[in-house]
Amino acid sequence: QVQLKESGPGLVKPSETLPLICSVSGDSMTDYYWSWLRQSPGKGLEWIGYISHRGDTNYNPSLKSRVTIEVDTSKGQFSLRLTSVTAVDTAVYYCARGIFYAGGRVGRFDPWGQGTLVIVSS
Amino acid sequence: EIILTQSPGSLALSPGERATLSCRASQSVTSGYLAWYQQRPGQAPRLLIYGTSSRATGIPDRFRGSGSGTDFTLTISRLEPEDFAVYYCQQLDKSPYTFGGGTRVESK
């Protein structure tokens, strides 16, 4: 059974870069899209972006200029880098597995990691 | 982007009662790309329904998804104590994939 776990700093200073890693266990990374999402009281649930095992990416346009998602299948990991963070980036960050629907596009996110709280503050 | 509006914002019901949750989209969503998630306090969202009406692995049949176009519904036929939680709909038809604001189902 696949499991995902996020790791990274719980506190990041404004204007700095937020780095997170998601470790995947229990399944191959092939044939899925590996995704980052976040949840904050102000903005609710927000999809950040995803990456395929081949490295194809799709980002939320609202964050695209600040986001990089990379994958390392040999380590069973994928990562998120969010640059120039501000207080509005304070949120619980989740990683999740994106599963294809019949049409060849992502149709659902399942499962999700437990989430990691990131606070942006000096 | 597609905006999803969930109603009601909260619902107070007793165990054994039926819950009907609505998700309305600002434009038509292909039925294969509408999902529902449950989030209990302190936990990550958990997939309940995908493709509008398909239950995820391990989800009991008291959860039923339906709808088409811009109107979708999650029905919980008989509420169990563990069903009191927040429920979110999500569309994955058009990027950026968006979520509704959630419906909180609480115990009366």
Q: pLDDT tens digits, residue range B13-52?
A: 999 999 999 999 999 999 999 999 999 999 999 999 999 9
Q: Which residues contact B7 (CB under 8 A, 6 or more apart)?
A: B21, B22, B24, B103
User: Any CB–CB contact under 8 A between B40 and chain A?
Assistant: no
Q: Tokens standing for B105?
A: 């189902």
Q: Which residues contact B98 (CB under 8 A, 6 or more apart)?
A: A47, B1, B2, B3, B4, B90, B91
pLDDT recorded at residue A105: 87
| Residue where the block lists tokens 């092939």 | A30
Chain A positions with Cβ closer than 8 Å to B: 44-47, 58, 60-62, 94, 99, 101-103, 105-115
Across the interface, whether the CB atoms of B47 and A111 are under 8 A apart is answered: yes
Mutate to test the interface with A, among B5, B52, B92, B98 (most CBs of A within 10 A): B92
pLDDT recorded at residue A103: 67
Answer whether B51's CB lies under 8 Å from A110's CB.
Answer: no
Residue A90 to residue A2: CA distance in whole angstroms: 27
Q: Cα B46 to the chain's mean position, in Å?
A: 11
Secondary structure of residue A42 in the 3-state scheme: coil
Answer whether A25's CB lies under 8 Å from A73's CB.
Answer: no
Which residues does residue A105 pair with via DSSP β-bridges, in sequence order? none
How much of chain B, in percent, has pLDDT values that exceed 70? 100
Answer whether B76's CB lies under 8 Å from B19's CB.
Answer: yes
Q: What is the mean pLDDT of residues A103-110?
A: 88
**Which of these, B76, B64, B65, B75, lies nearest to B33 by C-alpha position?**
B65
For the cut 70, the answer to whether the pLDDT of residue A64 exceeds it is: yes
Answer whether B17's CB lies under 8 Å from B25's CB.
Answer: no
**Which of these, B49, B41, B43, lies nearest to B90 by C-alpha position?**
B49
Residue A48 to residue A71: CA distance in whole angstroms: 15
User: Any CB–CB contact under 8 A between B38 and chain A?
Assistant: no
Q: Tokens standing for B81?
A: 């104590």
Q: What is the mean pLDDT of residues A23-34?
A: 93
pLDDT recorded at residue A67: 98
For the cut 90, the answer to whether the pLDDT of residue A104 exceeds it is: no
